Structure 1
Amino acid sequence: MTPALEIAVQDIAGALIARNEGADRVELCAALGVTGGLTPTAGMIDLAAQTGIDVHVLIRHRPGGFVYSVEEVAVLENDIMFAVSAGAAGVVIGALTKDRTIDVSATKRMITAARLAAGPREIEVTFHRAFDVLDNRVEALRQLRDLGVDRVLTSGGAATVPGGLAVLEDLVNAQSGVQIMAGGGVTLDVIDALVGIGVDAVHLSAKTGVPDPGVAGPGSGAQAPLERTDVEVVRAAVAALRK
């Protein structure tokens, strides 16, 4: 089967590019380049859900590690319920313990929040690259399956996907019932290899920098290019997967 293509986008223009070029879904996030991705704003979620492509919302309220307090998990639950109520087709979550294992309690709470908010509507749950911090990933796949997670986003534990191909293949071969979505430094020239090992989906940001038309000032942060979705990269990725 042809792997699905998920594009990480940060604005409505990116969601429309992904839709128009034939991607299967988007992961909607904010501050991707600086933080690795955070939960987008309420307005962004609402409008992105109206674009006609399945929108999976990243649920991560701060940068840094994935060990959360009880209060933080409550925030994540609230963000999940809002995103699903606003029309998200899926949520992207992840929570760990200090011992680098899955935080089962937090994960259960977040999945329950998603299912409750969805009501009779189907909602998909992806466990994000917190998975790459785990020590025993094959066992974690089975644990996530039992918790009700649909897929994991992973680079195979490497800094980027090209360095994690062997582990990704092991995860695919584990046949856990959880979809394996390769993501993290995916480039067009690695797509053939990912198809060859049988991943269920490919995830890439296809982002490029464009000049900021404004001027940074006190309180605005450092001047930097704005991150936008590159239509040519999305088009090439679709072509590489569909050939």
Structure 2
Amino acid sequence: MTALEFAVQDVAGAVCARGVGADRVELCAALGSTGGLTPSIGTIDAVVATGIPVHALIRCRAGGFVYSDLDEIAVMNADARAAVSAGVAGLVVGALTPDHRVDIQVLERVLDGVPVDDIELTFHRAIDQINDRSATLDTLIAWGVTRVLTSGGAARCADGLDELAAMVGHAAGRVQIMAGGGVTVEDIPALHRVGVDAVHLSARQLVADDGGPGDGSTSGHEKLDGKLAAAAAAQLQAVEAAGRSSD
């Protein structure tokens, strides 16, 4: 069974995701402009209250995933502990060494004091900056990660199908491979065929909303597009049903 996850930024997005039958949401902030940052604790509280399993992104700033600043690591640790205390089902984390390997030491500091046995851990698309993703999967499996979010190293999942298939084969059920990165409704059948354990979409739309001269941007704000979310859920249900009928 292929799981469906939406990246959402607010309560409305979580309610929408739950309404179309999503299995969980990744909760983040500033998704379009930064790729996602840690949401506020107020947002986490409110989204957890919707009842859908919430996986909170722990990322203190935009840019790369090398964290040598102890203050940054301390902030992420505080955010991780607060998110788990608020009732999230999982955390989404990632950290790299300067030579683009998984930085287990930083991850352990980020999760210091977090009851990791009680939650799921997703390693995010920092993995797409690593050349040897098979070896990285072995490292993450040994460390206890539940799943990895990846485009197969491509800009879009549709361009990384061969690598996604290779990662699924290498994982061999030891860790979940979740396809994410530019996923469209039309991509879902191909992603299902390569055997990924989950599909991750933002399915967002831009709402025009001028914040004025002090806003820094007049483009508006993003929200989960209900029609796209429903279409994605229907597409996944259809390919799952087709797969069962052909067995």
| TM-score, L = length of structure 2 | 0.92
Cα distance between partner residues in 2 of 1:227 and 1:71: 30
Which residue type is aligned with residue 131 of structure 2?
D
Show the 5 A alignment for 1:82-161: 82-115=82-115, 122-161=118-157
Count of residue pairs brought into register by the alignment: 236
1:87: how far off?
Answer: 0.8
Is this contact kept in 1: 2:121–2:147, CA < 8 A? yes
Cα distance between partner residues in 2 of 1:224 and 1:93: 29
Residue 178 of structure 1 is matched in structure 2 by 175
Structure 1 residue matching 2:152: 3-state secondary structure? coil
Structure 2 residue matching 1:114: 3-state secondary structure? coil
Cα distance between partner residues in 1 of 2:181 and 2:192: 16
Is this contact kept in 2: 1:80–1:113, CA < 8 A? no
1:113: how far off?
Answer: 3.6
Structure 2 residue matching 1:15: 3-state secondary structure? helix
1:35 paired to 2:31: no
CA offsets per residue over residues 67-119 of structure 1, 9 Å max, x none?
Answer: 00233212111110000000111000000000000001112233444326xxx
Which residue type is aligned with residue 241 of structure 1?
L
CA offsets per residue over residues 108-153 of structure 1, 9 Å max, x none?
Answer: 233444326xxxx720000000010011100000100111111000
1:81 paired to 2:54: no
1:198 paired to 2:195: yes
Is this contact kept in 2: 1:59–1:93, CA < 8 A? yes
Is this contact kept in 2: 1:111–1:148, CA < 8 A? no
Residue 63 of structure 2 is matched in structure 1 by 64
Residue 207 of structure 1 is matched in structure 2 by 204
1:165: how far off?
Answer: 0.6
Residue 245 of structure 2 is matched in structure 1 by none
Which residue type is aligned with residue 150 of structure 2?
T
CA offsets per residue over residues 198-231 of structure 1, 9 Å max, x none?
Answer: 100000001001121x54222x212012101101
1:14 paired to 2:13: yes
Structure 2 residue matching 1:158: 3-state secondary structure? coil
Residue 54 of structure 1 is matched in structure 2 by 53
Which residue type is aligned with residue 107 of structure 1?
L
Structure 1 residue matching 2:4: 3-state secondary structure? strand
Residue 225 of structure 1 is matched in structure 2 by 220
Name segments (4+ residues, structure 1) moved above 2 Å. Answer: 108-114
Is this contact kept in 2: 1:108–1:147, CA < 8 A? no
Is this contact kept in 2: 1:152–1:178, CA < 8 A? yes
Structure 2 residue matching 1:152: 3-state secondary structure? strand
Residue 233 of structure 2 is matched in structure 1 by 238
Is this contact kept in 2: 1:154–1:181, CA < 8 A? yes
Cα distance between partner residues in 2 of 1:55 and 1:167: 28
Structure 2 residue matching 1:174: 3-state secondary structure? helix
Q: Which runs of 5+ in 2 are unaligned?
A: 239-247
Residue 169 of structure 1 is matched in structure 2 by 165
Which residue type is aligned with residue 206 of structure 1?
A
Structure 2 residue matching 1:87: 3-state secondary structure? coil
Which residue type is aligned with residue 224 of structure 1?
S
Structure 2 residue matching 1:125: 3-state secondary structure? strand
Task: Give RMSD over aligned pairs.
Answer: 1.2
CA offsets per residue over residues 34-91 of structure 1, 9 Å max, x none?
Answer: 0000001110001101001000000001000000023321211111000000011100
